[in-house]
Amino acid sequence: NDPMPELNDTAASRLCAACGMCCNGVLFHGMQVQPQDSLRSLASKGLKPKRRDGDLFFPQPCPAHQDSCCQIYNDRPQRCRAFVCKQLAAVLDGKKTEEAALEKIREARVLTAEIFDLLVALGDSRDHRALAVRCAGIFTPPLDSSPEATRLREVLQVAMEKLDRLLSMDFRIP
């Protein structure tokens, strides 16, 4: 029983393809493995779980998320099947238009792109790591004390705070 609606030529498929932040490491740094998940099957598809604080999780960004879609959609983990962001939920509930949701997604993606550019300018090109992990690394001593690096870190801090507010208000389900 899949709570996600069919994603063939629907508003959901268009929104998810335009966004992808639940898969690309922007919304989450990892996704907890569920009892229903077949670790062997998922590992054969490139999802290798890691252990943290006794829990198994799949690190983000997800290696199955390529070209704005899930390469293992029919076999995706349980958490992926169950997740619906606030934008998608509002559209599915008729509380928001698809166009309004797409505009909010564009806003988040523009801000995310600016943050990725700042990370690269600060020397972090680890695009295989979640956004929060990459940002934490930038603020972990020893810090580059040059005026330019200091300025870029300040800009990054403000941008991350803005993105976190946006994601909390408009994408993450508590």
Q: Could you read off the pLDDT of 70-111 as tens digits, one per residue?
A: 999 999 999 999 999 999 999 999 999 999 999 999 999 999
- Give the model's confidence band at 1: pLDDT under 50 very low, under 70 low, under 90 confident, else very high: very low
21 class by beta-carbon count within 10 Å (0-12 exposed, 13-18 middle, 19+ buried): buried
Note the pLDDT of residue 113.
97
Q: Give the contacts of 120 (CB within 8 A, at least 6 positions apart).
A: none
* Rounded distance between C-alpha atoms, residue 114 and residue 160, angstroms: 10
33 class by beta-carbon count within 10 Å (0-12 exposed, 13-18 middle, 19+ buried): buried
Q: 52 by DSSP, 3-state: which?
A: strand
